[in-house]
Amino acid sequence: MAHEKESYVNEDWHQELQKVAERLSQSQIAKRLDVSGAMVSQVLNGKYAEHRVGGFKEKFKGAFMGYCVNCPVVGELARDRCLEFQERNFCATNPTRVQLYHGCRSGCEHSRIPVRDIS
């Protein structure tokens, strides 16, 4: 039984992904998005589970389609960079990085990190 393609293959970002894949290798795309080459391949072929593709889509739109968010710490920020900052561990070597670490964890509307219970 052949697996049917997920419905996201009809979305504009996926069509753009196909165009990008014509000029860059899947490994180049994967490196830019900090994901595996297998994930890029599965998404390109519409085989990656629809309910799990959201993070990939947001990273792709930020990295390749200029999608930005209004970060309360640094202002306009590409969505892929926003997601990258959310994944970083705490590091007190840079005041902006400290602010981003805490901002991403204290209710920022763009964060995928649950707000910490600080009580």
* pLDDT per residue as tens digits for the range 16-49: 999 999 999 999 999 999 999 999 999 999 999 9
- 37 vs 28: CA distance, rounded Å: 8
- 80 vs 62: CA distance, rounded Å: 5
Answer whether residue 1 shows pLDDT above 60: no
Answer whether residue 71 shows pLDDT above 70: yes
Per-residue confidence at 5, pLDDT binned at 50, 70, 90?
Answer: confident
Residue 10: the pLDDT is 92
Q: Which 3 state secondary structure label does DSSP give 117?
A: coil
